A and B are shown apart, each in its own frame.
Chain A
Amino acid sequence: DSGVTQTPKHLITATGQRVTLRCSPRSGDLSVYWYQQSLDQGLQFLIQYYNGEERAKGNILERFSAQQFPDLHSELNLSSLELGDSALYFCASSPGTAKNEKLFFGSGTQLSVL
C-alpha cells in the first residue's frame, strides 16, 4: 500500500457526462500529480499541485480541471466526456521539495465512457 488513496476504483458513465475523481495524498506529502494512462500508452502528465497551488501543467484538456484543497486532497473533474477519455487515471503524491520528488502512486480510477 502506497498510502495514496484514490476513489472510486471504477467509474462507468456516458458520453457528455461529468465525473469527479478524488485523491488523498500520503500523510505529509504536499504535492499531488495527476496522470492519464490509456491502452498501450505511457503515463501522460496532466497537472500538478503543491500545497494548494497549481505548479505545473501538462497535456490537460480544457474540459478537464483539477484543484487541491486545504486538507491537501485533490479532485480531477472531467466534463463533456468523450469515448476517448476512457483510461486509467492515476494520482501520485510526493513531498514536493527539490531534493525529494519520489512519487507514490494510488491504485488508479478506471474510467469507462460508453
Chain B
Amino acid sequence: GENVEQHPSTLSVQEGDSAVIKCTYSDSASNYFPWYKQELGKRPQLIIDIRSNVGEKKDQRIAVTLNKTAKHFSLHITETQPEDSAVYFCAVFSGGSNYKLTFGKGTLLTVNP
C-alpha cells in the first residue's frame, strides 16, 4: 500500500519566519495531495491541495509544491503567525484498487511570538 513519510515531526520558528514541511510517497500512481491543519482538540481542516498535473499552488501565505518524478511534495508557510501553530498533516490519494487517502504522521508547528 501507499507509504507516506513526513518531516520534520516538530518544527519551531519565530513569528515572521517561513516554515517548510516535506512529504514523500511511494505510489507513482497517486494523483491528489492535500494538506490538513489540526489545532489542539479540533478536527483536521483542509488548507490547500494540489493535483498531479500541477507543480505549484499558492493561497495567500500558504503554498504547496509537487515533484512527481521524485515523489515528494512540500508545504510552505511564509510570514508565520502564532495562529499558524498546529499539527499539519500531508496526505496522498491513491486511486485504482487501493482507493484511499493515506496521511503522514504529522508535524507539530510552533510559532513563537
Query: CB within 8 Å of B: which residues of A?
Result: 2, 33, 35, 41-43, 45, 48, 55-56, 58, 90, 98, 101-108
Contacts and interface: CB of A to CB of B under 8 A. Distances in A.
Contacts of A43: 44, 89, 103, 106
Interface of A, helix, strand, loop or mixed by DSSP: loop
B75 to A, nearest CB: 15
A12 B43 CA distance: 20
6 closest cross-chain pairs (CB), A and B: A42-B105, A56-B100, A105-B43, A43-B103, A56-B99, A42-B106
Interface residues of B, number: 20
Contacts, number: 47
Interface of B: 32, 34, 42-46, 49, 89, 93, 95, 98-106
Nearest to A107: B43
B100 A58 contact: yes
A42 B44 contact: no
Given A45-B100, A90-B44, A101-B93, 18 more contacts: A2-B43, A2-B45, A33-B100, A41-B105, A43-B44, A43-B103, A45-B102, A55-B99, A58-B100, A90-B43, A101-B32, A102-B46, A103-B34, A103-B101, A105-B43, A105-B44, A105-B45, A107-B42
Contacts of B46: 102-104
A48 B43 contact: no
Nearest to A41: B105
B99 A42 contact: no
Contacts of B95: 98
A104 B47 CA distance: 11
A106 B43 contact: yes
